[in-house]
Amino acid sequence: MKENFFEYFKICLLEDKLPHAFLIETENLEETFLKVIKLLNENNLINTLDYINNINLIVIEPDGKEIKSESIANLQKRFSLKPLNDNYNIYIIKEANKMNISSANKLLKFLEEPNSTTIGILLATNSQVLPTIKSRCQIFKILDDKNYTELEKEATILIDFLNNMNNQNEIECKKRYTKYERTDLINLFELVINSYNNVLKECSLQELKLIANIILVLENVLRMLKSNVNIELLLDKLCIEVKNS
The whole-number pLDDT of residue 2 equals 40
Half-sphere exposure of 159 (CA within 13 A, CB side): 17
Whole-model pTM: value is 0.64
Tell which of 142, 175, 201 closes a domain: 142
For residues 58 and 173, state if they share a domain. Answer: no
* Mean pLDDT, the chain, integer: 87
For residues 150 and 137, state if they share a domain. Answer: no
For residues 137 and 150, state if they share a domain. Answer: no
For residues 137 and 170, state if they share a domain. Answer: no
The whole-number pLDDT of residue 152 equals 82
Tell which of 89, 118, 142 closes a domain: 142
**Mean pLDDT lowest among 7-16, 58-67, 138-147, 235-244:** 138-147
Per-residue pLDDT tens for 65-78?
A: 999 999 999 998 88
For residues 107 and 13, state if they share a domain. Answer: yes
For residues 20 and 128, state if they share a domain. Answer: yes
For residues 83 and 170, state if they share a domain. Answer: no
Q: Is 242 exposed, middle or buried (0-12, 13-18, 19+ CB in 10 A)?
A: buried
* Contact predicate 232/182, CB 8 Å: no
Per-residue pLDDT tens for 71-127?
A: 999 998 888 777 766 688 999 999 999 999 999 999 998 898 878 889 999 999 877
Domain that holds residue 190: 146-244
For residues 130 and 154, state if they share a domain. Answer: no
Tell which of 142, 158, 192 closes a domain: 142
For residues 64 and 91, state if they share a domain. Answer: yes
Residue bearing the bigger pLDDT, 44 or 148: 44
For residues 108 and 155, state if they share a domain. Answer: no
Q: Give 89-154 as a DSSP string.
A: EEEEETTGGGB-HHHHHHHHHHHHS--TTEEEEEEESSS-S-HHHHTTSEEEEE--HHHHHHHHHH
Indicate if the pLDDT at residue 145 is higher than 70: no
Residues 6+ apart with CB under 8 A from 172: 161
Alpha-carbon distance of 140 to 3, in angstroms, equals 8
How many domains, the chain? 2
